[in-house]
Amino acid sequence: MPTQVSEEVREALHEGRPVVALESTIIAHGLPRPRNLAVAVELEEAVRAGGAVPATVAVVDGTARVGLDGAQLTRIAQDPAVRKLGHRDLAPALAAGVTGATTVSATALLADAAGIRVFATGGLGGVHREWRETQDESADLRLLARVGITVVCAGVKSILDVPATLQRLETLGVTVVGYGTATFPGFYLTSSGEPVDWTLRSPGEVAEVMRARDGLGAPWSALVVANPVPEAEQLDPALHDRVLARGLAELKEKGVTGQAVTPFLLEYLTTHTDGASLEANLAAVRGNVRLAARIAEAYAAGGR
């Protein structure tokens, strides 16, 4: 069954108006209920307030959808049977008629195929700290090496091995730029301490880079725009390090692996920081969504 692009999104794309894709795994598996539904609605509104059309991506009853209506968004947020779908899961999910939330990899694939150029999320997946034993590297990275979409994120999740993830992005040829920063953001934290090679300072500058890439012949990998959470809204770094260390130990004890690792650690942090990590996560996502709308607008406008 072909991907269903909502009428509103289809029209906007046809008319060259700005569209921002949003992923749904963060809604179904990255945030606690019932707050997740309110956030899903808020993120779509933030895209609209920025002058762009939101296109939340998910699989509903075996149909891949780009742009959800209210009932579909509610189902993704509330139904505990909603599965987590990376790009490799899309075909079996469609064939089996299941309902699932799309990760960065599946969202980028579907959004790019629909002709959407800008995508906002919280933090990318990447190389896990337990990589030596588990070989766990998010499928996000390899997929981002294949599609020419611009992804606005607060870096990669700090539960990961950040230097190893940056190295993989380099190897895979994914372009990474810091937005208003020369250091790579740390998701819950303003900075991961790792340097980035390029810094851009306005939506217009990002749009210029997108156009330069078009001129070189797209698609050839994603453009990652790493947008730090403001310092006033970051998680206390000492608390972050302390709680994460305990969460990683518990992960090992419980033998959690595969797709369950990321949701387990995000939830562990939320619980053991009394919700402070959740607030930092939300601040990061909000900032990314707002910036993505401005980038989509600058790109659609075609000039600086």
Is residue 259 near ligand PSU by the rule CB under 6 A?
A: yes
* Cβ(14)–Cβ(250) below 8 Å: no
Q: Which is nearer to Mn ion, 167 or 219 (CB)?
A: 167
- Give the separation between CA 22 and CA 88, rounded to whole angstroms: 19
- Give the separation between CA 164 and CA 133, rounded to whole angstroms: 15
- Was 89 annotated as part of a binding site? no
Consecutive H or E run containing 199: strand 199-200
What's the closest the beta carbon of residue 21 comes to ligand PSU, in angstroms?
A: 12
- Was 69 annotated as part of a binding site? no
Q: Which is nearer to Mn ion, 25 or 288 (CB)?
A: 25
Q: List active site positions.
A: 23, 157
- Was 84 annotated as part of a binding site? yes
217's tokens: 């012949």
Residue 228 touches which of Mn ion, ligand PSU, none (Cβ within 5-8 Å per kind)? none
* Cβ(209)–Cβ(179) below 8 Å: no
Is residue 112 near ligand PSU by the rule CB under 6 A?
A: no
Using a 10 angstrom Cβ sphere, with 0-12 exposed, 13-18 middle and 19 or more buried, the burial of residue 33 is exposed
Q: Angle of helix 203-217 relative to helix 276-301, nearest 10 degrees?
A: 60
- Was 252 annotated as part of a binding site? no
Applying CB under 6 A, among 29, 129, 168, 294 the residue interacting with ligand PSU is: 29
Instruction: Please list every residue from 129 through 158 that binds ligand PSU, using CB under 6 A.
Output: 138-140
Residue range at the interface with ligand PSU (CB under 6 A); choices 24-32, 74-82, 222-230, 241-249: 24-32
* Cβ(226)–Cβ(206) below 8 Å: no
Using CA of residue 277, residue 282, residue 283, residue 287, what is the dihedral sign? positive
Is residue 123 near ligand PSU by the rule CB under 6 A?
A: yes
Residues comprising the binding site for Mn(2+)?
Answer: 136
* Residues engaged in binding ligand PSU (CB under 6 A): 23, 25-26, 29-30, 103-104, 121-123, 125, 138-140, 259, 262, 266, 281, 285
Residues comprising the binding site?
Answer: 84, 104, 136, 138-140
